[in-house]
Amino acid sequence: EVQLQASGGGLVHTGGSLTLSCTISGFTFDDVALGWFRQAPGKEREGVSCTRTSDGETYSIDSVKGRFTMSADAAKNTVFLQMNSLKPEDTATYYCGVARGGDYKRLCLLFASDEGEYWGQGTQVTVSS
């Protein structure tokens, strides 16, 4: 059974930092797509940053480039999202996803894959102005 457990959310002031973690069980990090996603109240879900574990290729939305960094620790089956210079518009529920096959862009943009995708529960990030 594949399970994803996200943690690390919280309340920070504008300009602050948070690091989200997502531990994935029942899955190895060989040639898979990993991603962080978010959804704010009243807004559509969006793929924040996704990566392909086989070569580290990464996609991120423009609004987080230079501020958010995604990384993965294969030995710990854990993926991280380091978020710096947080803004109120970053406020959302963040959650992680994983898909076999490594198509990280499709995972991020379409929330889909050819071989099945899995999602974790969310962790709330609130940035106060």
Q: How far apart are CA 55 and CA 125, in angstroms?
A: 29
User: Is pLDDT above 90 for 24?
Assistant: yes
Q: Residue 37 in contact with residue 94, Cβ under 8 Å?
A: yes
Neighbours of 7 (CB within 10 A): 13
Kindly report, residue by residue over 65-77, the tens digit of the pLDDT. 999 999 999 999 9
User: Is pLDDT above 90 for 92?
Assistant: yes
The arithmetic mean of pLDDT across residues 95-123, rounded, is: 91
User: Is pLDDT above 90 for 28?
Assistant: no
Per-residue pLDDT, 95: 95
